Structure 1
Amino acid sequence: MTRNTGAAVYVAGHNGMVGSAIVRRLTSLGYVNIVTASHSELDLVDQRAVRAFFEANRIDQVYLAAAKVGGIEANNSSPADFIYDNLLIEANIIKSSHDFGVPRLLFLGSSCIYPRLADQPIREEALMTGALESTNEPYAVAKIAGIKLCESFNRQYGRDYRSVMPTNLYGPGDNYHPVNSHVIPGLLRRFHEAAANGLDEVVIWGSGTPKREFMHVDDLAAAAAHVMELERSDYCAKTQPMLSHVNVGTGVECSIAELAGLVASVTGFTGRLTFDSTKPDGTPRKLLDVSRLRSLGWQSTISLEDGLSDAYHWFLVHQGDFRGRILEGACGSPS
C-alpha cells in the first residue's frame, strides 16, 4: 500500500524489545503519529481499559508486540501466568481493533507455535500438525490462539489482520535477568560477568547440541513494517487461506555450543566452556523456512556476529538499568 506517514499507528508493547524496535523503524520511515501507552497508563489484560483506549484514540494500524515472555525456567515455573496473560492481551487488542474499525493489524507471534519435532526448516503449514515443546506449551498455545483470532476476524468480517512468526530474537532492550532470560542475553551477561571477574569457566545449560536460528530485533522490525505495508492483494497471494501467518527469520542456524563460542569472543572471555547436560535442552532443532517472506520481497541483513556485537554494546551501556524483571512487551520464543 502507499505509505501513509500521518496514519495513527498504535504499537502495543512499545517499551519491550520488539515494540521499541518497531517504534525505531517506523520513526526512520517517517511516521509521525505513533501512539503508545505504558503499562501504568493502560493494563492490556483489562478489557474495559483497552476498549476505552481504542474509543478515545482513532487508530489506523496496530502492531501487537505486547506479550508476557521468558525463558525455559520462567515458562516452567509460571505456566498459568503465561497462557492467561497472553490470551487476554491479544484477545482484548484484536477484538477492540475490530470493534472500533481499525483497518489493519499485525500480530507478532513466536516460532514456538510449531511442533517440537517439525520437519526442518519449518514451513508455515506445519502449524498444529504435532505436539508442542512441553517447556513452553502454554505460551505457544496462547500465540496460536492469536493467529487464529486474526484468521477468524478476517474470515468472518473481512478484516486485514496479519500475523508474523519471528524466530529467536535478541538485541537492544532485551531481558538480561540471570534466570528468566532467553539464551543470547543470558549468555552475554554470564560471559561478561565471568570475564569481568576473571573466572576460568562458564557453565551453560544443556548439552550444547541443539540448533537455533537467531535474529536481531531491528531485522524483525524491518520485516514487520514491510509486511504491514504490503498491498492486501500481494499479501493474500502468498498467504492464503484467510490471510494466514508468515515466518520471519534469517534462514541460518547454529548450535548452542557455536553460539557460546561467538559470545565468548564478543565479551572477551577466554576460559573454559562447560555444558550441563542435566539441564533441559528444549527443542532439538528449530529453523524457520523463510521462503514465503522472501517471496514477499524481504530478507534479513544483520549477521549473527554483527548483531551480537551490537547487543553486547547495548548491554554495556545499560547494564546499570537492569532490575531483574521480565520486560514489558518483549516478544520472542523461549530458547
Structure 2
Amino acid sequence: MKVYIAGHRGMVGGAITRRLNARREAGEAIELVTRTSTELDLTDQVAVRDFMAAEKPDVVILAAAKVGGIHANNTYPADFIYENLMIECNVIHQAFAAGVTRLLQLGSSCIYPREAPQPMREDALLTGVLEPTNEPYAIAKIAGIKLCESYNRQHGVDYRSVMPTNLYGPGDNFHPENSHVLPALIRRFHEAAQSGASEVVIWGSGKPRREFLHVDDMAEASLHVLDLPRDVYAAHTEPMLSHINVGSGSDVSIRELAETVAEVTGFTGQITQDASKPDGTMRKLMDVSRLADMGWQAGIGLQDGIRSTYAWFLDQDPAALRAK
C-alpha cells in the first residue's frame, strides 16, 4: 500500500509518519511517499497534478495546512483562507484525478459556531456564526469537509475527515506570537523560570476553557478512523455529516492550564491576566461519542503530555526554536 502524507514535517503529519513507519518496521506492506514544501508546493495546481499522476498513491493523508493562534489568524487572514483552500482543493481533486479512492483529511474544531452547544457535536456544523478571530481559517476547513463529502456523493470514493481539538506535542510551533496557546505558554514559562522572573502575564481573563489532545493520540485516532471498514465508518456517519470529532473529552480553563505549565517548567512566580487581550470563544469542548462508538479514546493525560512535550522542547536547539 502506497501512502502519501501531505505535511509530513508538521506536528500531526510527523506523528502519523512515525506511526506508519513503526507499522512498516513491524512487517506491514506500507510504502510512504513524502515531499517537503520546497519539493512540492501544494498551492500549485499543476505541480500537485503532476505529482499525483506520477506517484499514484493508494491512500492520501492530508495533514498539511497553514496554522497559527489568535494573533496569527488576526494578522494574516488572507494567507490563512487562501493557502488552506488551495491546499485542500489541489490535493483532494488531484488525488481523485489520479484514481485515489481512500483519503483522510485533517481539519480543526474551529469549524463549529462560536456559540455552539457544549460539548460540540458533529451536527453543530453550519448552525451559527463562527468565531471572528479565526473565521477565514474555519471557512477553509469547512470547505475541506464539504469537498470530501461532495466527492464521496458524486464519485463514490471514500474520503474521510477528522476534526481534532487543540493539539500539542513534539514538533509544535513555540513561536512567542504565532503559536497556539499551550506551546506559547510552555515557552513563556520556561523563559521566565530560567531568567528568575517574578511574574508571567497571560492573555485574557483566564476563564475560557479549552480541550487539549496530545499529537501522538491524534495520530493513533487518525489511523484508527482511516483503517475502519467502509461499512463500519458509514454506520456512524451520514453522507452530509461525514466528519468525526477527535478529542480527549475533557477541558480545562486557561488559568488552570497556565498553572500546570508553571508547575512543569518550575516557574514559582505570580501568574496574572491581561484582560485587554481577547479571550476568543469561552468554551470549546468536543463531543467525542461517535469516535468512542468507533472503538477509540485518548490515552495520554494532559499533565503527562505537557511533561513529555516540555522534555522534547528542552532537547531542541534553542536557535532553531527562536526561528520558529
Scaled to the shorter chain, the TM-score interval is over 0.9
The aligned amino acid for 1:53 is: F
Q: Secondary structure at the match of 1:246?
A: strand
Match of 1:330 in 2: none
Match of 2:285 in 1: 287
Structure 1: which 5+ residue stretches go unaligned?
1-6, 326-335
Contact kept in structure 1, 2:123 and 2:241, CA below 8 Å? no
| Cα displacement (A) at 1:319 | 4.2
* Deviations 1:144-173 (CA, angstroms, capped at 9, x unpaired): 000000000000001100000000000000
* Deviations 1:38-93 (CA, angstroms, capped at 9, x unpaired): 01100000000000100110201111000001110110011000000000000000
Match of 1:130 in 2: 128
| Cα displacement (A) at 1:26 | 1.2
1:9 paired residue among 3, 24, 28:
3
* Deviations 1:215-251 (CA, angstroms, capped at 9, x unpaired): 0000000000000000000000001125710000000
Contact kept in structure 1, 2:66 and 2:80, CA below 8 Å? yes
Q: Secondary structure at the match of 1:29?
A: helix
Q: How many Å separate the matches in 1 of 2:222 and 2:33?
A: 17
Match of 1:322 in 2: 321
| Cα displacement (A) at 1:305 | 0.6
Structure 2: which 5+ residue stretches go unaligned?
none
Pick 1 or 2: higher relative contact order, CA cutoff 8 A, min separation 6. 1
How many residues of Structure 1 are paired with residues of Structure 2 in the alignment? 319
Match of 2:86 in 1: 88
Q: How many Å separate the matches in 2 of 1:177 and 1:115?
A: 27
Contact kept in structure 2, 1:151 and 1:242, CA below 8 Å? yes
Match of 2:38 in 1: 40
Match of 1:53 in 2: 51
* Deviations 1:170-208 (CA, angstroms, capped at 9, x unpaired): 000000001000000000000000000000100000100
Matching of residues 176-215 of structure 1 within 5 Å: 176-215=174-213
| Cα displacement (A) at 1:25 | 1.2
Q: How many Å separate the matches in 2 of 1:323 and 1:270?
A: 24
Q: Secondary structure at the match of 1:172?
A: coil
The aligned amino acid for 1:40 is: T
Matching of residues 1-335 of structure 1 within 5 Å: 7-30=1-24, 31=28, 32-242=30-240, 244-320=242-318, 321-325=320-324
* Deviations 1:95-136 (CA, angstroms, capped at 9, x unpaired): 011101112000000000000010000000000000000000
Instruction: Let me know the Cα RMSD of the aligned residues.
Output: 0.9
The aligned amino acid for 1:142 is: A
The aligned amino acid for 1:322 is: L
Q: How many Å separate the matches in 2 of 1:11 and 1:46?
A: 17
Which segment is superposed worse, 115-124 or 313-322? 313-322
Q: How many Å separate the matches in 1 of 2:274 and 2:72?
A: 19
Runs of at least 4 residues off by over 4 Å? none
Q: How many Å separate the matches in 1 of 2:317 and 2:261?
A: 17
Q: Secondary structure at the match of 2:236?
A: helix
Q: How many Å separate the matches in 2 of 1:252 and 1:209?
A: 15
Q: How many Å separate the matches in 1 of 2:292 and 2:22?
A: 22
Q: How many Å separate the matches in 2 of 1:136 and 1:20?
A: 24
| Cα displacement (A) at 1:24 | 0.7
Q: How many Å separate the matches in 2 of 1:90 and 1:292?
A: 25
| Cα displacement (A) at 1:29 | 2.2
